[in-house]
Structure 1
């Protein structure tokens, strides 16, 4: 695909040069500069240790239109001197000497435009460093070619008077008429200098206002959504769900993906209370429907599956992203429960304002937990060893392997564990027997009781602070969603709370405005 694009670019550039120069001899000089400049760019790529990848190939394709500029200027200047009566060699020497300053200035200017991109840090620098330096290198080589090879080729290829005949003559006479028309209008404009100054001042003021206003009024995204032919979703199950429950509902989600006509294959990974799954669509050569068009249809069917939450999304085009584009983190030294209260208020405001298509809060205090409490007086009276009691309980329900055994040359783990039917709920733990004195078996219920409570599924931290994250898929631009959350957080959160970001949201905050300097 890139090779085809490069060939198309070369053909278009050659046709355009011919239409404006009007002579095959004149076209040869800038056309020869193209491969030489690109070969020089490849040499610089090897010198810098760059590989041939999508970004460097893009730089090579874009540089095709830039590297011919200097050579075209040289050809035009040499032809002008030849029309004025100079010999071919003198015209080439004088023309090249006249253009040394302008060509060096043009080359440095173009290279200076792209080089700062390579000096960026973070994701921007990692992505565009090779692109910027490859493009700047091609422009630099083209400047060298324009001052060395192009004048000599012009001296040998161009002929005096050939620009006055045929198609070349038509082109030159057309440009002469345009030059005369432009010159007359330029004279009139310069005679009205006060009006020109006023117009210039107005345009400059509008440019300043545009630069200051667009970043505030416009929407910002880290990168446009790319149709990669992949849809996936994160599975969220109840805290007390078993692996059997999650697999059953996840299989139903898998059938939703399989029933899409353009599905190539599906994938799924599940655990008791979470997981992910999705689908890969057929290549573009086979299907005509874009990936985005399937999202509403899939979401409607996934929403009808009980027992799990699953929202289909398209993966980010850039690396380093989280599961969802929005990842808004609230951090503090306060308790997790207190942070969660504020996070729920902010999230409720966002849902009321229709900021999210789908949203969630990572901290969930809904995990049932059973705690075994021992009566130490009874333990002492029965002569039990707590270390042995702990080992017995661990062996019964822990799932750890204690040894290995060999069968037919293969090694297998020995994992002692009571049957699953006997450990489906915490109350069944009371039926476990532990070892007592003289190898007596004593029911656990004799010396222990079970207390039930609800705890958080996980306690997350960020930058050594307690953290709660609001994440989701925005119904507006990512920048607008983050600004809304920031504004609501500033209204709701007391002092001592710090806002942070992860994934794509963090990249947008740190990288999205570097080129504008805002």
Structure 2
């Protein structure tokens, strides 16, 4: 009676709320995508056609997840959010092309056949391009890479289903649902005049761009170069710090401290947490992982019931805990991807050497002193402790033998009274309890305790234990650690406010290079090791994605030049994406990197549409520049529609709030910035690149080589 049980630490709360937030984001994305489609098509019937693609593709993706044994988690649901904008792209392109023919007066069935014949190649190319982007991601290594395999394969499955739907269900629905209308309402006519003016303006500006091609090339090179500036100035980390509704606090007592000493300070931490309004429950564990340490978990109130975020509370708590003397206390944010244990820190910088541990300790202390005041590093400590206090008890065997006290008796007595020994058990109310024999805690805190312990000698003589032993107080290593077969020491720290894990590691790396001997090697463990591995892994995945896309496009277009033209838009979109991250305070992390890889597949769609129609018009005998301008103008609306659908579908991610919002917003801003900026430049740079590089292509059927047109032979 009188006892209540409350959950003080539960990671499933954040997971559940994060998944619920993603469900809301999916609904918001669907509404925004439908809105952009309706604004361009201005017809409820036409809007219904690409809308059908969304549930069909998502159901197909869920079926793939089930077949592969995937689970519904934040990453697979995040792929569903991106899929909302992705899966309608192919249907929009097919629908717009068929709708254009119907508006020109063609019968719906014939328009559907003609439209799909014109656009089928481009749809297949776009679908395979996106799948090619995600294929390398599925083979990424490391624990972080494994986390995104489900993300990549789920999204690739949704894209494949959407491509199939666009080639089959979409033209059928167009033939059945679309009709040519002679009269339109005011909204339709007003928007049509706007789109016609937009197309006309684009045609004129594109002709001007083609007349000043060197200037456009210089502009494109300058913009692409801007991506280097933003990339080098972006902070880097493994994953964004999320408001997970939980704060971890760690206490480190001086070496040699007892459990009761640590427990006294742990109670002060409890008192401090009880005064914080945003803290709902808390749990303090003393003696984990050893008697000189304590760990506390504070569960915050739900996100909607508090004004301050977890990150700001951690900064405030650290200020408060620093006022408690006698023990080192600090609070941290839980790792976003669950790396490491609750007692670990983000920064784990390992120094390896063949030197003695004493020499390694000296150099580690020098390095810590060098970086101690840097704001990027807080709560610095090392696991190489060579001065742990200890007491060495040596038995005077000769004297013990003279007094008739056995060595085993001395050892057993000290073990029992000082260390404690279970002597029996007793039952009470159906429960078993151990009976421990040990001197009370306050009576065994000093070496003088030995003077109060007596043993029975020969003939019943009482012998004082202190007369049989010699006591020496000295220090010894707490533990001696090797890392990859070399002696090592690990420096741990927490990145300071406003600094990322990458910033903190850079400070340590630069300081180590300055002051440590050349024989010392740097390495990493824990979150820091995963951060370094994920950086190299994602670079390989990015390069493989570019290579896969190039090969797929080369096979589709039967040309090694056309894929190059299409892919010139990639660095332009990267600049927009990195700029969006830079100006919104984002970082380079696994989430933003996944967004960049996704962007590669998205932005190449525009070039595919323009090039495919340009090649078709050149096959019909039109001159290159005329074909370029006409194809680009014809594809302007579907390009803007697909861009609008993808951007608006990603806006709920970029503006997300609540559990897990920090990670989702990273991908959202990459898509919004990259697609918006990249599309605006692609509309001009791709035609200009085609006009230059097409001279390296073989002439189209029935078309003279460009050089022959430019330099006709004189008549004989």
Q: Same fold (TM over 0.5)?
A: yes
* Contact 2:397–2:407 under 8 Å retained in 1: no
Structure 1 pair 480–285 and aligned structure 2 pair: CA distance change class (3 A): closer
In the alignment, which residue of structure 1 is the partner of 2:313?
Answer: 294
CA distance in 2, matches of 1:305, 1:340: 28
2:220 aligned with 1:203, yes or no? yes
Q: CA deviation at 1:415?
A: 2.4
Residue deviations 1:332-351 (CA, integer Å, cap 9, x gap): 33332221111111111111
Residue deviations 1:367-418 (CA, integer Å, cap 9, x gap): 2211111223324444543334322322222213244344565433232223
In the alignment, which residue of structure 2 is the partner of 1:324?
Answer: 345
2:379 aligned with 1:362, yes or no? no
**Pairing partner for 2:472 from 434, 451, 454:** 451
* Contact 1:384–1:436 under 8 Å retained in 2: yes
2:500 aligned with 1:493, yes or no? no
The answer for unaligned runs of 5 or more in structure 2 is 1-20, 543-716
Q: CA deviation at 1:58?
A: 1.7
In the alignment, which residue of structure 2 is the partner of 1:273?
Answer: 292
* Contact 1:388–1:435 under 8 Å retained in 2: no
Moved more, 41-50 or 487-496: 487-496
2:330 aligned with 1:311, yes or no? yes
In the alignment, which residue of structure 2 is the partner of 1:250?
Answer: 266
In the alignment, which residue of structure 1 is the partner of 2:114?
Answer: 94
Q: What SS does the aligned partner of 1:292 have?
A: helix
CA distance in 1, matches of 2:82, 2:460: 82
* Contact 1:74–1:150 under 8 Å retained in 2: yes
Q: What SS does the aligned partner of 2:282 have?
A: strand
CA distance in 1, matches of 2:88, 2:68: 24
In the alignment, which residue of structure 2 is the partner of 1:227?
Answer: 243
2:165 aligned with 1:145, yes or no? yes
CA distance in 1, matches of 2:183, 2:163: 25
In the alignment, which residue of structure 2 is the partner of 1:176?
Answer: 196
Higher relative contact order (CA 8 A, sep 6+): 2
The answer for unaligned runs of 5 or more in structure 1 is none
* Contact 2:395–2:407 under 8 Å retained in 1: no
Q: What SS does the aligned partner of 1:504 have?
A: helix
Q: What SS does the aligned partner of 2:422 have?
A: coil
CA distance in 2, matches of 1:258, 1:516: 46
Structure 1 pair 189–418 and aligned structure 2 pair: CA distance change class (3 A): closer
* Contact 2:256–2:390 under 8 Å retained in 1: no
Q: What SS does the aligned partner of 1:285 have?
A: helix
CA distance in 2, matches of 1:109, 1:188: 31
Q: Which structure has the highest helix share of the two? A: 2
2:392 aligned with 1:371, yes or no? yes
2:31 aligned with 1:11, yes or no? yes
In the alignment, which residue of structure 2 is the partner of 1:41?
Answer: 61
Q: CA deviation at 1:296?
A: 4.2
In the alignment, which residue of structure 2 is the partner of 1:504?
Answer: 527
* Contact 1:327–1:469 under 8 Å retained in 2: yes
Q: What SS does the aligned partner of 2:31 have?
A: helix
CA distance in 2, matches of 1:413, 1:142: 66
Q: What SS does the aligned partner of 2:372 have?
A: helix
Q: CA deviation at 1:105?
A: 0.4
Paired residue total = 514
Structure 1 pair 219–4 and aligned structure 2 pair: CA distance change class (3 A): closer
What's the TM-score once normalised by structure 2's chain length? Answer: 0.67
Structure 1 pair 262–407 and aligned structure 2 pair: CA distance change class (3 A): closer
* Contact 2:76–2:154 under 8 Å retained in 1: yes
In the alignment, which residue of structure 1 is the partner of 2:364?
Answer: 343
Structure 1 pair 399–47 and aligned structure 2 pair: CA distance change class (3 A): same
2:506 aligned with 1:483, yes or no? yes
Q: Which structure has the highest strand share of the two? A: 1
Q: What SS does the aligned partner of 1:352 have?
A: coil
2:174 aligned with 1:154, yes or no? yes
CA distance in 2, matches of 1:72, 1:394: 80
Residue deviations 1:484-510 (CA, integer Å, cap 9, x gap): 211221233224432222222112111
2:129 aligned with 1:109, yes or no? yes
CA distance in 1, matches of 2:26, 2:79: 11
Q: CA deviation at 1:431?
A: 3.8
2:421 aligned with 1:420, yes or no? no
Structure 1 pair 163–511 and aligned structure 2 pair: CA distance change class (3 A): farther
CA distance in 1, matches of 2:485, 2:505: 23
CA distance in 2, matches of 1:199, 1:290: 46
Structure 1 pair 428–163 and aligned structure 2 pair: CA distance change class (3 A): farther
